[in-house]
Structure 1
Amino acid sequence: MPGVALFAAEETVLTAMLEGWELQQRSRMLSGLTIERRLLTVRRFVSFTNDYPWRWTPGDVEAWTAEMVSAGLAHSTVRNYQMAVALFCGYLSDARYQWHEVCERHFGDVPVQIFHEWNTVIHRTDYEGRPGNRPLSRDELQAFFDYCDQRVGQVRARGRKGWLATFRDAALFKTIYAWGLRRREAAKLEIVDWSANAAAPEFGRYGALAVRYGKAMRGSPPRRRTVLTTMGWAAEALAEWVEEVRPLYDATGTALWPTERRAVVGTDAISRRFSEYRDAIGLDRNLGPHCLRHSFATHLLEDGFDHLFVQQQLGHSWGSTTAIYTSVGADYKNRALRQALDRAFHPETLNRD
């Protein structure tokens, strides 16, 4: 109330600001985890400035950003941190919440928006994830799979025992790509995880994959999802492995990727073999197996699949996460532009046989 002095006024008002912003975000039905992370970021900024929001300046933003960059934080991470504090400043400077009146009365100063176009991170590139995770072009992907198949032929022609392992690894990499899997998800697969999809009978018993070891939220068990088969060639390659080649291992269990010692292929082995093949064909040495999952998402979008479908295939809770995974190529963009222009200016061409 006006005229009433607050005990520990700065801390009391700051706490009330954070609680009010939390309620505002909850009213927008944002996830609890998103809200928690944003609040934590704001508290970090408070700690960095050692000051209160009504005394923050654009210079604080620039000093904070410089520290994050020097600490090696990713471009996209810095932008997300900036966005969280900018949203908080936007809330405080909105006259509808009357924080300017509270701060003027108690501190003789008011909160303002300290983030602007000259001190915030921009979208630097089409792809902002880790360089080693960027999607492969279709030509790069074809070269990689061609080399996988070539290795099988070479080892088998020499009469070497390891041809089963090279066939297994070729099938494994194709599976990671064609169903958009993480290394651990792929390594944990079993034969029983595959089932038919009545909506796509052409894929036989490999129409859907039950992923049982998806990436877990903090403190939660592995997340499960079902990935629908979208690539017929991959279903054929998997069927050949499961029904013709895998039985030669004399494996007694249900693991999809057994070894000669009756163990299962691990994530480190997947990374080592990927690196070997990557280097052999001259791909960027930063690339790791996870780039196959990013390629899956990008190529589905380029092929016209709905963004929500791709998001569900990947098991993402939020579309913004899927956006980090995708970077459509120039050819796709040009085709999309041409189609849009034809619809707008040459509709008669769309009716031609």
Structure 2
Amino acid sequence: MHLTVDTSAKCHIIPATFIKCTSVPLNAFLIHLELPITRLSRSAALDRKGDPMTHPHHLKLAPHTEGNFTLPAEDTALLNEIIEGYKARRIGARRYNKKSVEGELAVVRDFINHSQMSPWHWGDSDFEAWCNEIGVNRKLAVSTQRKYQSAVKIFLDYLVNNQGLRNKVKELCGVAPRQICHRDNMIQHKLDRELARKKPALTEEQVKHLLDGIAEGIDLAWRFTSKALIPLQRDKALFSLVYGLGLRASEACNLDLEDFYPNSDLPQLGRFGFTRVTGKGSRGTGPKFRTVQIMYEWVAETLCWYIEEIRPRLLKHAAPNEKALFLSERGTRLTRSSLDNRFQEAVTLSGLDGLGFTPHCLRHSQISHAQDTGLSLEATRRMAGHAFASTTQGYTHVGDRAVQNEIAHRVNNPQRQQHHY
């Protein structure tokens, strides 16, 4: 739905998203890790079959009257002891994220449900049958399958390498646990991303079109004294920064006013030379911090404008000494879901809807454009906060023309041609 407004010489089309802002609440899922381990009923399994969104966090590990499987009492007690030790090691000693560890244990419990046996009885064929279940029947993404396989491997590493638990299992159950996950039956990490639905990257022209669309929305809101004016002004700074620094949506929401400091090599950027970013850690290690250099003067100027002129207007209902950089209309820190909704509204304003763009596409775009300008892969990796260069390579979207230009430049540059032998 659109509203057409005729003002003197011009006719303006105002999208419905500009007139009324809506928010979508996030659904919360409970993880029942302490319930008895049971086999899901055949009907429940068929209900999930083929659903690519099936995840151990969503599995209902509750007793059922048909075909239920329960470990023997002595196995259950021993497994609970192992799980408690595993959690103490991962969360307490290694400082891994609690939610991540619970996710690993949910995967282990799913494998137990599928195999109908305790971990110390598992064999290679049991693991491979379960891998077939999650890959062929549930049709999980390759990257998700690898994550689940790794969770089982990590759990078995703990059990097999803990001599005390290993001896106790052998004494009580008569078998020694062994590692059944190895290179021959696990999905290996590849250079190229396997995701079939790779997130698209915006071209530089599309990024400009997106920000120009927000600017046009700001102009309309000012002329019609709309309450959407201040949120749109915030969005202009928000998405300029997300693109300019190649940020994840959560990283942008977590930014505070004090996360910026000058770069002596670029004094023209003022206090916005560097940004301290709180990123996600790998394998549930908790947040990781990195410093990202602002490369575009226009991003620093937009940020300065937002902090000095726009953000104070959002502080009306904020708590005293609020530190969050980007605020909602209620004066609270902007949430990830709100950022997603605001981005889709910006996409609609700029006429880019229907192309599958999400906020994360701005991150893909910045990484691709940084590579196009000649920034090294290592520098780009550090800017993006990736642990591996192969991950950064998966974010690059190099067009055919860019490849042709680079090859032509090398061929036509006699100083860089290879010698003939």
TM-score by length of 2: 0.54
Number of the residue aligned with 1:278:
347
In the TM superposition, residue 76 of structure 1 has moved relative to its aligned partner by 5.5
Residue correspondence of structure 1 range 116-127 to structure 2 within 5 A: none
Is residue 2:389 matched to residue 1:323?
no
Encode CA deviations 1:194-248: one digit per residue, 9 max, x unaligned: 110112222111110001x311344533111111111222111111111222233
**Alpha carbons 1:196, 1:203 under 8 Å: kept:** yes
- Among 221, 224, 249, the alignment partner of 1:183 is 249
Change (3 A) 1:255 1:63: closer
In the TM superposition, residue 256 of structure 1 has moved relative to its aligned partner by 1.1
Structure 1 spans left out of the alignment, 5+ residues:
1-36, 83-112
Residue correspondence of structure 1 range 193-212 to structure 2 within 5 A: 193-211=259-277
What secondary structure is seen at the aligned counterpart in 2 of 1:275?
A: helix
Distance 1:65 1:334 in 2: 42
In the TM superposition, residue 286 of structure 1 has moved relative to its aligned partner by 3.4
- Among 190, 212, 216, the alignment partner of 2:281 is 216
**Alpha carbons 1:259, 1:265 under 8 Å: kept:** yes
- Among 294, 302, 306, the alignment partner of 1:241 is 306
Number of the residue aligned with 1:261:
330
Encode CA deviations 1:306-328: one digit per residue, 9 max, x unaligned: 11111111111111221222221
Q: Match of 1:230, as an amino acid?
A: M
**Alpha carbons 1:127, 1:134 under 8 Å: kept:** no
Number of the residue aligned with 2:384:
314
Residue correspondence of structure 1 range 153-168 to structure 2 within 5 A: 153-168=219-234
Is residue 2:141 matched to residue 1:74?
yes
Change (3 A) 1:348 1:165: closer
Q: Match of 1:266, as an amino acid?
A: T
Task: Please identify, of 132-141 and 332-341, the stretch whose mean Cα deviation from structure 2 is larger.
Answer: 132-141
Residue correspondence of structure 1 range 93-112 to structure 2 within 5 A: none
Distance 2:146 2:283 in 1: 23
Distance 2:416 2:383 in 1: 36
Larger proportion of helix: 1
Number of the residue aligned with 1:304:
374
Q: Match of 2:323, as an amino acid?
A: T
Residue correspondence of structure 1 range 20-39 to structure 2 within 5 A: none
Change (3 A) 1:128 1:291: farther
Q: Match of 1:220, as an amino acid?
A: T
- Among 215, 240, 243, the alignment partner of 1:149 is 215
**Alpha carbons 2:217, 2:232 under 8 Å: kept:** yes
Distance 2:222 2:140 in 1: 46
Identity within the alignment, %: 28
Is residue 2:261 matched to residue 1:192?
no
**Alpha carbons 1:148, 1:277 under 8 Å: kept:** yes
Change (3 A) 1:259 1:195: same
Change (3 A) 1:226 1:341: same
Structure 2 spans left out of the alignment, 5+ residues:
1-103, 116-120, 150-182
Distance 1:189 1:348 in 2: 44
CA-atom RMSD in angstroms:
4.1
What secondary structure is seen at the aligned counterpart in 2 of 1:133?
A: coil
TM-score by length of 1: 0.64
Q: Match of 2:231, as an amino acid?
A: A
Distance 2:205 2:143 in 1: 27
Distance 2:359 2:416 in 1: 45
- Among 332, 335, 359, the alignment partner of 1:289 is 359
**Alpha carbons 2:135, 2:142 under 8 Å: kept:** no
Q: Match of 1:331, as an amino acid?
A: R
Distance 1:348 1:270 in 2: 46
Change (3 A) 1:132 1:150: farther
What secondary structure is seen at the aligned counterpart in 2 of 1:323?
A: helix
Q: Number of matched residues?
A: 273
Encode CA deviations 1:149-172: one digit per residue, 9 max, x unaligned: 111111111112321111101210
What secondary structure is seen at the aligned counterpart in 2 of 1:205?
A: coil
